[in-house]
C-alpha cells in the first residue's frame, strides 16, 4: 500500500502571527512548525501502515509545499515514522491560494505515483492552522479524480475498503469509500505520537527529496500571488479588546455583580 | 440583472436560518436564485421550501431531486452546481455563488472552484455589493478583506453574517435534472444518526452562548442552568470534550464551532488561543474563572474571579427571579 500524507508548515499559532506588506502570511518572521492538525494525519497514516502489517509493504511518503524552512514539517513526519519525504519548494509558489496549492500538491502526487506507485490513500489534516479553510483535500480529490472521505474522527479499513466516523453539523455519520481516495482526519482521531530518540536518528537516513516547479512540469505563471484566483485587499489587526471590569467574588457578591452586568446590557 | 446562486441549507427539507442570511446577501449582488438539492416532494406546498425562500427574495428556485444522489458525499452536489451555473451563465449571467460555510459547504465550494475555474473565498462574515468579502483570521486577531478575481466568485458564508431581511421574490420554480457522473458516487454515507435535539438554540445561531471548560470538573449542571435561564446555547472547551463530559458537537474553537453571539459566557475556561479562535468575535464576553491570571480575562467585558460552582447557581437564581 502507498500512502501520501500532506503536511503543512505553518506559523506557530501561539506566536504573534502577522501579515507581510503584500498581505501574504508572514512565513519567515514568525517561528513555524508542522501544523498540529497534520500530526493527526501522520499518525493515522502510520496506523494504517502498522495495521497492514509486516507482510504487505506499505510506504508512507510525507509531502509538503512551502518555503525553505518547511522542510522541518516533513522532517518531523519522518521522525514520527514516515518512510520518505518530498518537499516542493520554489520562489514562485509564495503567496499561492488554495487553488494553486492544490495544483502543486496534485502534480507532486502524480510524480510520486510515477516514481514509486500510485497512492491508495492521500491523507490530509482537517484544516491548516493558518488558512484553516479545510478545502485543499476536496480540491485535491477533484484534481486527482478521487473520492474524498473527509473529517474522520475514527478510521477503519479492511482491504481496500475504508469506513470512517464523523461528527457532521447535523448528524453523526459513517462514511464509506473504496481506495484510492483522499482521506482527512480531525483532532478527534487520536493523539499523535512523539518522535522517539530512535525515530529521530533513523529519520536522518531516510530519503528526502526537494522538488522545484520544473521537476513537476508546472509553469511558474500558474502559481504564486500573481496567479491567485482571489486577492486580499486589506489585512487589519483587530483592535485589542479593552479590558473590562473584573470583580472578585466574596460571599456571593460575584453573582450579584454578574446579574447586574447582564441586566445593564439588556440580556435579562 | 445577473443571477446569484444560493445553495439552500436544510435538513430533509427543513430550511435552516443561514439560508435566509445568504439570500439577504445575495440581493446585494444580483438576483437571488435559490438552489434546493433535496427531496422534491418538500419543494412545493404552503410549508415547502419554495414558499420559505420566496419570502427572503428568491426570484427563482432550482429544484434538484436528490433521490439519485442522496447518500453520497459532496461530489454530486458540486456537479449539480456546476451544471446550474453553466445554465445561468448562458441565460442572463451569474454574479456569484453563495454557499453556507459548513464543512460540507466548503468542500462543495472547493470542488466547484476547480470545475468552473473560479476563485473561492471561505468563511466570509460579510460580503458587500461589489463582492468584497470580509474574513476573520488568525484566531480572530485579524480582519481581512478580499475578492475573487477569476471566474464566478464562489463564497462560503458563515452563519450570523447578515440579519435576514424579508422581501417578496417571484420564487419561480425551475425543475432541474442534473446529470451525475459515476465517479461522483464513490463516497457514500453508510449510516447517519441525526443529532438529538437539545431543546436549546443552535450553537452557531444562538444570540447567547454559555460555555464550560475543565473548570466544571465534569459537572455541567451550573452551566446548563445558566444557559436555560438566559435562553442560551451551551458550548464547551476542547478540554471538556476530550474528557468526555460533552459531545464534540458542543466544542467551541479552532477545531470546533466558531460562534459570534451577542453574549458569550466562558466558565472554567482558561482562554487558550485555539478556544479564542472560536469565540473572540463575540460582541460581549463574560468569564467566570477562579484564577485571576487566566488569559480569558484579557478578553472580557466583565469577569468574575470566583468558583463557578457557587457563582453560577447564585446568578441563575437571581436571573430567574428577575425574569419573574
Ligand atoms: C490543534 C489544536 C486545536 C485545538 N482546538 C481547540 C478548540 O477548538 N477548542 C478549544 O476549546 N480548545 C482547543 N484546543 C485546546 C486548547 O489549546 C486548550 O487546551 C483548551 O482550550 C483548554 O480548555 P479549558 O480552558 O477548558 O481548560 P484549562 O486550560 O485547563 O482551563 C481550565 C480553567 O478553569 C479554571 N477553573 C478551574 N476550576 C474552576 C472553578 N471551580 N471555577 C471557576 N474556574 C475554574 C482554571 O483556573 C482554568 O483557567 C486545541 C489545541 C490544539 C493544539
Ligand atoms: N502547503 C501545503 N503542503 C502540504 N499539505 C498541505 C498544504 N496546504 C494544505 N495542505 C493539506 O491540506 C489540509 C487542509 O488545508 P487547508 O485547506 O489549507 O485548510 C492540510 O491539513 C494539509 O493536509
pLDDT tens profile A23-82: 888 888 888 999 999 999 999 999 999 998 877 899 999 999 999 999 999 999 999 999
Within chain B, strands assigned E span 3-7, 10-11, 14-15, 31-38, 60-65, 94-100, 120-127, 133-137, 142-148, 154-157, 172-175, 187-194, 208-212, 233-236, 263-267, 284-289, 302-305
pLDDT of residue A54: 75
Average pLDDT over residues A145-167: 96
Q: Which of residues 209-268 of B touch A (CB under 8 A)?
A: 230, 238, 247-249, 254-255, 262-263
| B295: its cell numbers | 488569559
**Taking Cα atoms as reference points, which of B176, B219, B130, B191 lies closest to residue B38?**
B176
CATH assignment at residue A96 = 3.40.50.620
pLDDT of residue B251: 97
Q: Is residue A231 part of a domain?
A: no
B255/A126 touch (CB, cutoff 8 Å), yes or no: yes
Q: Is residue A141 part of a domain?
A: yes
CA A33, A34, A40 angle in degrees (round to 5)?
A: 145
Q: Which residues line ligand 1 (CB under 6 A)?
A: A 36-37, 187; B 213-215, 237-240, 251-256, 268-270, 272, 274-275, 278, 288-291, 294, 307-309
Query: Contact, B276 vs A230, CB < 8 A?
Result: no
- Band (pLDDT 50/70/90 cuts) for residue A21 is confident
**Taking Cα atoms as reference points, which of B141, B153, B140 lies closest to residue B96?**
B153
Ligand at shortest distance from the CA of A85: 2
Ligand at shortest distance from the CA of A96: 2
Residue B34: helix, strand or coil by DSSP?
A: strand
Exposure string of A14-34, with b = 16+ CB inside 10 Å and e = fewer, is eeebebeeebbbebeebebbb
Ligand 2 binding pocket mutation candidate from A3, A4, A6 (most atoms within 8 A of CB): A6
A236/B143 touch (CB, cutoff 8 Å), yes or no: yes
- Residue ranges making up the domain that contains A108: 2-222
B255/A138 touch (CB, cutoff 8 Å), yes or no: no
Q: Which residues line ligand 2 (CB under 6 A)?
A: A 6-8, 37-38, 41, 63-66, 98, 101, 105, 124-125, 127-128, 131-137
Q: What's chain B's Rg over C-alpha atoms?
A: 21
Q: Is residue A250 part of a domain?
A: no
Q: How far apart are the first and last CA of chain B?
A: 52
A170/B110 touch (CB, cutoff 8 Å), yes or no: no
pLDDT of residue A28: 80
Name which of A20, A148, A229, A252 to mutate to probe chain B: the one with the most chain B Cβ atoms within 10 A of its Cβ. Answer: A229
Domains observed in chain B: 3-185 (3.40.50.620), 208-323 (3.40.50.1220)
B115 interfacial to chain A (CB closer than 8 Å): yes
**Total domains in the fold of chain A:** 1
Name which of B146, B180, B185, B316 to mutate to probe chain A: the one with the most chain A Cβ atoms within 10 A of its Cβ. Answer: B146
- Ligand 2 atom at minimal distance to the Cα of residue A135: 17
Q: Is residue A33 part of a domain?
A: yes
Nearest to A238 among B142, B145, B285 (CB): B142
Whether the upstream peptide bond of residue A180 has omega within 30° of 0, thus cis, is yes
Nearest to B120 among A13, A146, A230 (CB): A230
Q: Is residue A137 part of a domain?
A: yes
| B61: its cell numbers | 428556485
Ligand 1 binding pocket mutation candidate from B103, B140, B211, B214 (most atoms within 8 A of CB): B214
Query: Is residue B270 a known part of a binding site?
Result: yes
Residue of A nearest to B241 (CA): A188
d(CA B151, CA B119): 7
Q: How far apart are the first and last CA of chain A?
A: 60
Given a cut of 90, is residue A20 above it in pLDDT?
no
> How do A59-65 and A32-34 pair as beta strands?
unpaired
B110/A187 touch (CB, cutoff 8 Å), yes or no: no
pTM: 0.95
DSSP symbols for B188-222 = EEEEEEEPPP-SS--TTT-SEEEEE-GGGTT--HH
Q: How close does chain A come to B272, measured CA to CA in Å?
A: 9
- Band (pLDDT 50/70/90 cuts) for residue A15 is confident
What are the pLDDT digits (tens) for A210-266?
999 999 999 999 999 989 999 999 999 988 888 799 999 999 999 999 999 999 999
pLDDT of residue A162: 97
**Taking Cα atoms as reference points, which of A166, A163, A189 lies closest to residue A176?**
A163
Q: How close does chain B come to A228, measured CA to CA in Å?
A: 8
What are the pLDDT digits (tens) for A165-211?
998 878 899 999 999 999 999 999 999 999 999 999 999 999 999 99
Q: In chain B, which stretches have pLDDT less than 70?
A: none
Percent of chain A at pLDDT exceeding 70: 100
Nearest to B208 among A248, A252, A267 (CB): A267
Q: Is residue A265 part of a domain?
A: no
| B153: its cell numbers | 466568485
Q: Is residue A264 part of a domain?
A: no
d(CA B242, CA B239): 5
Amino acid at each position: 500500500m502507498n500512502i501520501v500524507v500532506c503536511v503543512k508548515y505553518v506559523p506557530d499559532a501561539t506566536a504573534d502571527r502577522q501579515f507581510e506588506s503584500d498581505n501574504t502570511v508572514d512565513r519567515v518572521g514568525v517561528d513555524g512548525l508542522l501544523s498540529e492538525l497534520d500530526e493527526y494525519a501522520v499518525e493515522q497514516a502510520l496506523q494504517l501502515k502498522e495495521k497492514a502489517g509486516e507482510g504487505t509493504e506499505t510506504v508512507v511518503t510525507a509531502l509538503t509545499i512551502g518555503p525553505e524552512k518547511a522542510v522541518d514539517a516533513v522532517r518531523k513526519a519522518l521522525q514520527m515514522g514516515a518512510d520518505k519525504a518530498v518537499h516542493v519548494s520554489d520562489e514562485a509558489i509564495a503567496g499561492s491560494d488554495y487553488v494553486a496549492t492544490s495544483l502543486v500538491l496534485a502534480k507532486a502526487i502524480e510524480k510520486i505515483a510515477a516514481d514509486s506507485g500510485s497512492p491508495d490513500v492521500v491523507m490530509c489534516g482537517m484544516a491548516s492552522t493558518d488558512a484553516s479553510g479545510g478545502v485543499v483535500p476536496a480540491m485535491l480529490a477533484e484534481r486527482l479524480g478521487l473520492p474524498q472521505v473527509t473529517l474522520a474522527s475514527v478510521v477503519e479499513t479492511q482491504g481496500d475498503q475504508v469506513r470512517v466516523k464523523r461528527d457532521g453539523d447535523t448528524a453523526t455519520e459513517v462514511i464509506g469509500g473504496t481506495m484510492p481516495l483522499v482521506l482527512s482526519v480531525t483532532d478527534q482521531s487520536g493523539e499523535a505520537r512523539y518522535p522517539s530518540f530512535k525515530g529521530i536518528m533513523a529519520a536522518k537516513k531516510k530519503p528526502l527529496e526537494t522538488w522545484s516547479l520544473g521537476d513537476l512540469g508546472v509553469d511558474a505563471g500558474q502559481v504564486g500571488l500573481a496567479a491567485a484566483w482571489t486577492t486580499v485587499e486589506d489585512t487589519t489587526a483587530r483592535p485589542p479588546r479593552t479590558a473590562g471590569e473584573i470583580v472578585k467574588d466574596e460571599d456571593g457578591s460575584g453573582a450579584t455583580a454578574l446579574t447586574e452586568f447582564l441586566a445593564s446590557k439588556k440580556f435579562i | 440583472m445577473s443571477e446569484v446562486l444560493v445553495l439552500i441549507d436544510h435538513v430533509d427539507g427543513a430550511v435552516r436560518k443561514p439560508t435566509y442570511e445568504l439570500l439577504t446577501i445575495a440581493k446585494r449582488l444580483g438576483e437571488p436564485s435559490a438552489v434546493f438539492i433535496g427531496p422534491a416532494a418538500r419543494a412545493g406546498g404552503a410549508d415547502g421550501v419554495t414558499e420559505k425562500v420566496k419570502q427572503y427574495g428568491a426570484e427563482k428556485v432550482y429544484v434538484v431531486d436528490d433521490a439519485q444522489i442522496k447518500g453520497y458525499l459532496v461530489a454530486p452536489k458540486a456537479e449539480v452546481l456546476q451544471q446550474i451555473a453553466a445554465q445561468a451563465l448562458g441565460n442572463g449571467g451569474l454574479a456569484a455563488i453563495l454557499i453556507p460555510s459548513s464543512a460540507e459547504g466548503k468542500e462543495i465550494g472547493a470542488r466547484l472552484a476547480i470545475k468552473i475555474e473560479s476563485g473561492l473565498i471561505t468563511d466570509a462574515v460579510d460580503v458587500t455589493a461589489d463582492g468584497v468579502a470580509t474574513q476573520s483570521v488568525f484566531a480572530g486577531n485579524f480582519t481581512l478583506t478580499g475578492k475573487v478575481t477569476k471566474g464566478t466568485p464562489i463564497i462560503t458564508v458563515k452563519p450570523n453574517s447578515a440579519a435576514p431581511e424579508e422581501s417578496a421574490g417571484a420564487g419561480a420554480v425551475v425543475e432541474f435534472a442534473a446529470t451525475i457522473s459515476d465517479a461522483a458516487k464513490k463516497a457514500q454515507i453508510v449510516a447517519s444518526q441525526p443529532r438529538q435535539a437539545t431543546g436549546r438554540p443552535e450553537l452557531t445561531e444562538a444570540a447567547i452562548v454559555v460555555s464550560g471548560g475543565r473548570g466544571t470538573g465534569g459537572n455541567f449542571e451550573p452551566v446548563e442552568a445558566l444557559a436555560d435561564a438566559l435562553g442560551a446555547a451551551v458550548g464547551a472547551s476542547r478540554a471538556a470534550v476530550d474528557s468526555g463530559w460533552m459531545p464534540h458537537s458542543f466544542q467551541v474553537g479552532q477545531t470546533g464551532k466558531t460562534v459570534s453571539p451577542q453574549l458569550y459566557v466562558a466558565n472554567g475556561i482558561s482562554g487558550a488561543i485555539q478556544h479564542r479562535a472560536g469565540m473572540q468575535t463575540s460582541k460581549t464576553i463574560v468569564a467566570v474563572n477562579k484564577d485571576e491570571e487566566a488569559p480569558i480575562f484579557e478578553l472580557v467585558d466583565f469577569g468574575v474571579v470566583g468558583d463557578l460552582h457557587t457563582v453560577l447557581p447564585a446568578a441563575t437564581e437571581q436571573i430567574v427571579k428577575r425574569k419573574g
